[in-house]
Amino acid sequence: MAEPRADIEHLRRKVMKSKFINRNNKPREDDTEIDGSKIPDSFDARVTWPHCPSISYIRDQSQCGSCWAFSSAEVMSDRVCIASHGHKKVELSADDILSCCTDGGYGCDGGYLYAPWRYFIETGIVTGGLYDTKDACRPYQIPPCGYHKNETFYSNCTQEIDTPVCETKCQAGYPISYDNDKTFGKTSYNVSHSVSAIQREIMTNGPVVAGFIVYDDFYLYKSGIYKHTFGYEDGGHAVRILGWGEEGGVSYWLIANSWNTDWGENGRQNLSQFY
């Protein structure tokens, strides 16, 4: 499942402080009791909603602790498409959240997971995308670091990254104004931590954001089902849960990370539900 990597140190810069995982809003009251009898053994949002391409996207947060912004922007994009039955396909900007959401967000140092959703409702979020994307208002401003197959090399993963400056205007050449490019959320909520409640939420409304504590062995993941077995606590991380499954009697969450496609299984991981 795991093997040593020489470049583990640059991955450490991608996680947040653990404190950002520990502050949660109360879950919805109607999520505390869920009948699990009709929940399938496996589920994959990519298969259920093939008309929403954002569900399959894997992004790259580079040397910045911006997982809180990425995971939220990804789930928001997925859910906008799902709720519109595929009529509105949008890739919302992690950069807009990272640089401009300052109420509970601390840029590349991390952020509370409720913060992007409050920002989505109160302020709205413009379109974004990968670094150097042209057909979006605020693409990610931090280039990928290191070598990635069939991708442009920008720099080694050695330097510390500053949080990009908040800019309330779209990039040059984009034909829509910043204010007119925004998408707004209607509501946000935390789901009960029970497995069946999370499963029901994903089946009904699409992928969810999840936060957890990262240990040293998480960085070494290559394939299979990951379960923490060794190493020290190293911080907090936020990802997107796409579904679940079972292998060899072990139940797992199917998660999408934001560490490019060459991490894990094409950017994804099977994370034990008993992590």
* Residues classed as catalytic: 67, 237, 257
| Contacts for 188 with CB less than 8 Å, ≥ 6 apart | 114, 117, 118, 120, 121
Instruction: Compute the distance between CA of residue 137 and CA of residue 208 in angstroms, rounded to an integer.
Output: 24
Backbone angles phi, psi at 271, to 5 degrees: -105, 120
Residue 60, CA atoms < 13 Å, CB-side half-sphere? 22
The three-state secondary structure class of 50 is coil
Residue 187: CB atoms within 10 A of its CB come to: 7
The radius of gyration of the chain's CA atoms, rounded to the nearest angstrom, is: 18
Is residue 230 within 8 Å of residue 275, measured between CB atoms?
A: no
